[in-house]
Structure 1
Amino acid sequence: MKSITIQGEKRENVGKSSTRALRDAEQVPCVVYGNGESIHFSTALSSFKNLVYTPEAHTVVIKWSDGGKTEAVLQDVQFHPVSDLILHADFCPLQPEKPVIMEIPVKVLGRSIGVSQGGVLRLTFRKLKVKTLPENLPDNIEINITSLAIGARISVKDLSTDKYSIEHPKDTVIVAVKASRAAVKSVQNDVKGKDDKKAK
């Protein structure tokens, strides 16, 4: 998986006034949780452009002003309810022997038979939470939909791999092909036409 580097400035003062000053300066208050400690820091709001506002998934290298660095994954982001600006972000450090949970984008492959027949493809989840060791984090979860007919679906239970587990209920539907309104109406008209002929 690709990694993005951001600059982190460790914080000692985590009070409300300090936090407000950071946001006014277009800095985001953040925390790295793990290893029995919490590191409070700030980073530029622009650092999240390729982390949050993107369909791709990345790990993060936080470079500290003292020359050190921490490899991590973004765990949670808090947004302002009105402006939608990022207010706070939580990170989890990566450790080779410790599984991590991360949202991975779904990549659909192929063209569904059902879509070719007039059906509509419904992608319920664009990202799925997976749990695995850092070395096994995939760039995306590929789902081949070529054989999906109208009314067919692919659920979590249909995706099997020994490299990671998907942290959703087994019956969670990820993608399905639904009958379009036009197709349903066409079938209804055909049935009505046959009934009318029988009545005559």
Structure 2
Amino acid sequence: MKTITIEGQLRTGFGKAASRAIRSQEMVPGVIYGGQTEVNFYAPAAAFKPLVYTPEFQIAEVKVDGKTYRTILKDLQFNKTTDLLTHVDLLELVEDKQVVADIPLKYVGTSKGVKEGGKFVSKINSLKVKTYPKFLKAQIEVPIDNLELNGNIRVEDVKEENYEFLNSPRIPIASVVMTRQLKQEEAAAPAKGAAAKK
């Protein structure tokens, strides 16, 4: 799984004025929680870009004050008018503590329904899972070979060892729908049959 490194510095000042001063230097304040101690830090805005502006699930190794923290992204705050990143929340990975994470889905194979002319529709791009840090992975592979026309794959159909899925089990995550052309062909077929009988 991809890991990015962020070089940060410990925050000493707090409050709105201190935060504004940090942001004026094109830095972004952040917090690392979930470990033995909460760590307040800041780092260059550019350092967060590979973590924030991607659909990939990644580990962020944050180096602050001589220590390295293995973390995952939990929350982001943006300025409502400028869209600039203003704060980052990171969860420290502790080996014997379970974490909750959103893991992207990767659909593999070609469904039966698509081969018959249907259209594959992805409804959900990631699933919320609970697991131990050692089992975190970049994506969950979902085989779709047996997905038939008008069929669905639901959360409960996804099998992944060591993961507890927190989404509702009956929610469809992908389906194959009929295209307009198929619908027209189906509608035309009974008409042809009726014409042949005359």
Q: Deviations over 1:131-154 (max 9, x none)?
A: 110011122100111121111111
Q: Quick check: 148-157 or 75-84, which moved more?
A: 75-84
Structure 1 gap segments, 5+ residues each: none
Structure 2 counterpart of 1:60: 60
Tell me if the contact between 2:35 and 2:93 (Cα under 8 Å) persists in the aligned partners: no
Once residues 144 and 82 of structure 1 are traced to their aligned partners in structure 2, the CA distance between those partners, rounded to angstroms, is: 42
Give the equivalent residue in structure 2 for 1:10: 10
What are structure 2's unaligned runs of at least 5 residues?
Answer: none
**Aligned equivalents of 2:29, 2:175: Cα separation in 1:** 40
Match of 1:130 in 2: 129
1:20 paired residue number: 20
Q: Deviations over 1:90-115 (max 9, x none)?
A: 11111110001111111111111211
1:55 CA drift (Å): 2.7
- Cα-Cα RMSD: 2.0
SS at match of 1:57: coil
- TM superposition outliers: structure 1 runs of 4+ over 4 Å: 192-195
For residue 63 of structure 1, report the CA deviation from its aligned partner: 0.3
Aligned to 2:158: 159
For residues 70 and 5 of structure 2, the distance between their equivalents in structure 1, rounded to whole angstroms, comes to 9
**Structure 1, residues 47-68: CA drift from partner, whole Å, max 9, x if none?**
222212223211111101x211
8 Å CA contact 2:140–2:160 kept in 1: the answer is: no
1:99 aligns with 2:87: no
State the distance in 2 between where 1:70 and 1:40 align. Answer: 12
What TM-score comes out, normalization by structure 1 length?
0.89
Question: Aligned partners of 2:191, 2:43: CA distance in 1, in Å?
Answer: 64
- Given the superposition, is the C-alpha separation of residues 67 and 176 from structure 1 closer, same or farther in structure 2, using an over 3 Å criterion? same
The code of the aligned residue for 2:59 comes to T
Residue in structure 2 matched with residue 31 of structure 1 by the alignment: 31
Aligned residue-pair number: 198
